Structure 1
């Protein structure tokens, strides 16, 4: 499994959501099923709205997991993915309970102190589980 921590230079939460949209679009264009794991329903709804208007020239086909678990891009909280070997974009502060069902995991980190601390802990946890997470500066 490939695990990457994409590090943003800002602390703005909207920048994390924009990065998630860009990464979801890229994953979908490469033929991967994408699951966006959100922190809570409010973040999920904000991300859903952002995906609708993210790029005027290209629609990103997406759905909430309860509406269509097989959509190319799925927004969820802690629900299990409908497909295996896809891309997990984790916006939650903890590791997904279904992490082993994905071939690639992206954690999006910004400079907000609580999130930085949580992501550092996730990085250590992945290493303890035998994975080799990588850091990517954005």
Structure 2
């Protein structure tokens, strides 16, 4: 059964969520996970794509956008928005406001919750969705 981890971010900067996602992606990549980053829209997906190249000087995370047909079979990290990944990935990092329909095909789902009232309210809704269906949940306050 899919395990779901919620990360409640303490910082209120506009890019705090994306910066955290990059650090988490780097850690998961180094542990050998295949990761699908799910952005709320194409703009956020492209922003995550750019940040993965620049967020840390010595970091290298091979990745690509799901919109690029050649990216999915070759990259351990793929970034999309809306569409299900075509490849085989074990970790979904969800940056969207809603739960993607394809979440249950992953071993683990990470939900990132920015430190702002509306985002927290949407996060509570997602938490209840998973809880009411019996998914194992963990909350991490950063």
Residues 4-31 of structure 1 deviation map (CA, whole Å, 9 limit, x = unaligned): 1011112223010011001111111111
Map of 1:72 onto structure 2: 76
Cα offset for 1:66? 2.1
- In the alignment, the residues of structure 1 paired with residue 46 and residue 133 of structure 2 have an alpha-carbon distance, to the nearest angstrom, of 32
Cα drift, residue 85 of structure 1: 5.1
Provide the residue aligned with 1:57 in structure 2. 58
Residue 5 of structure 1 contacts residue 134 of structure 1 at CA under 8 Å; is this kept in 2?
Answer: yes
Distance 1:12 1:37 in 2: 20
Tell me if the contact between 1:84 and 1:101 (Cα under 8 Å) persists in the aligned partners.
no
Give the TM-score normalised by the residue count of structure 1.
0.94
Q: Does 1:129 align with 2:130?
A: no
Give the match's secondary structure for 2:15.
helix
**Aligned equivalent of 1:110:** 114
Distance 1:102 1:13 in 2: 28
Please name the residue that 1:93 is paired with: 97
Which blocks of at least 5 consecutive residues in structure 2 are unaligned? none
Alpha carbons 1:85, 1:104 under 8 Å: kept: no
Q: CA RMSD in A?
A: 1.2
Counterpart position of 2:27:
26
Deviations 1:74-133 (A, max 9, x none): 100121123345110000011111011100111111211111110000000001111121
TM-score for the superposition, normalised by structure 2: 0.91
Which segments of 5 or more consecutive residues in structure 1 lack a partner in the other structure?
A: none
The match for 1:41 is 42
How many residue pairs get aligned? The number is: 138
1:43-78 Cα shifts (integer Å, max 9, x gaps) = 111111111112221211110012212311110012
